[in-house]
Structure 1
Amino acid sequence: MKTRRDIDTTFETGAGSPQAAARGRGLYRSIWRNWCMLAGVLLVSTIGLAAAIPPLLGERVASPWPWIKTDFVLLVGLSLIVIAFVGYLTQQQRRVIAIHRELTILREESDKRIRQHTARLFALSNISHMISVETNLQNIFDRITRMCIETFNCYRASLMCYDADTNDLTVRSVGGHSDTSILNLRQRVGEGIAGYAAQRREPILLSDPADYARYPGLQLKDPSLTSAMVVPIIVRDELVGVLNVSSRSRDVVYDENDLLALQGFASSAGACIRHTEHVNWMRRMVPQLSGEDAGCARGR
């Protein structure tokens, strides 16, 4: 997996990918091909001029060819020069159009990455903002899944909380194209993709059937999924829950960059959940402690 620094460097320079290397080799070959065409045009032009100048000088230059006095030689030579030059210009124009097309594609890809990067930063800032304004856990769960839907353009996003007493994961929020009947559905740790990620406490990225080989024992139960990401929510080495994102569209396939972003979501979500739990616990304890203090004061 790439580090954040590697991904940022790739994002800024656009280098390091096989596509970029292939484009570089293609441009290098095109440069040499253009030089060869230019040399050919110069050679043909030289031959044409050598054939055309003696007739124009009117026998003042010795004839290098036995058929130099014929008009046909001059016409053929000039025609070859024109054809070669037109061919060269046509090739250059086609190359310019191809380069323009490549640059347009690169610009669109860069714009798309910038928009994705901005949307993810905005979503992360919203999660951090929830720490100071939201104290209802269910509202936090729903906002996190909603932001996952908006950010990753996924078919379904769900958040599951871990119950240490029963060693189960419980679906607390679900968004996207899904049936709300799966809310409060319980799943044993170790079962399914979410249970697998929770048990091993490692993120899972599935974007190709071959990816299952990286996770021994993991089985696909929903063949309609084209791509999925599952990230355990861990706070201070303690499992809090699991964040799931899945896609059923062939146009939406997740990669390492998406997984890294979802890990940031999970980390911020875990901190927000723990903070809210502590705030609610303190709110429950304050009246109790105040009553105990008042009782102690009366006892004195």
Structure 2
Amino acid sequence: MASPNLKYAYFPGCVAQGACRELYLSTAALTKALGIELVELKKASCCGSGTFKEDSQLLEDTVNARNITLAEELNLPLLTHCSTCQGVIGHVDERLKRSQQTDAPYVEQINGLLKQEGCLPYRGSTQVIHLLWALVKDYGLDELQKRVTRQLKNLNCAAFYGCYLLRAQQSIPYDDPYKPESMENVFRAVGATPIYYRGRTQCCGWPLASYATEQSFQMAGMHIQEAIDAGADCLVTPCPLCHLNLDSRQQEVEKVINRQLGLPVLHLPQLIALAVGISPKQLGLDQHIVSTQPVLAKLGFS
């Protein structure tokens, strides 16, 4: 049963406010429809997507400790809809909570840097949670099912979890990092059919894209082909960076693997929002590179 008055400190991240604006729009539309309140952290900064630590672990920890303290100031959990942000910020939070017990001077060093910038100290008093898990654990699949006004029957959905959501943190209390079912359970709740394939928990190739482009596209192409061959009508991902490699670069991927693909890639909140009665236009489904029309046609949208 859903908890009443769900409220989160919302960390939208960078990509959803830029290249994947449709994710920002669909998250806002979905949470409003479900009665979930989001308090956007306007002063938050980029999590670094795992790159800050290549220069300095202290830099990554301090930047993201600051992001966490913005949620702590509100006494709310920090909610993100980006798997990469979840992996990075969640891992920092996990590590700093552990350091409070094992390496207090390190946390004091970070808090000293935060103080210099006029920020509150990191307390370790909140949690970092992805939208997927908030829906599954806090809102509840039974409650979500009650909100469905359009059953997504006959739609075969292949989850693409990627790697950051499942394995960036040492402890994932919401799912099995190697055999997850969270997204598939969401698909069932909205009437869709889950499709299983080998690559659903693997890396999309995005981290390689800037320096090993062909290998990155080969990885993306392999996953898309496997999903198609398994009978998927679409991929659904909880990560906008995965979406960029799988959707916006799919035409380039086709050239590398020498196969036509054309598989629509949906953001997780877009799929759920369709089921609770929100229009495709409002969800930005016309903004994808790979057309989502085959999905919408199968669901009976004109």
TM-score if structure 1 supplies the norm length? 0.24
- The structure with the larger Rg is 1
Larger strand proportion, structure 1 or 2?
Answer: 1
1 or 2 for the larger relative contact order (CA 8 Å, sep ≥6)? Answer: 2
TM-score if structure 2 supplies the norm length? 0.24
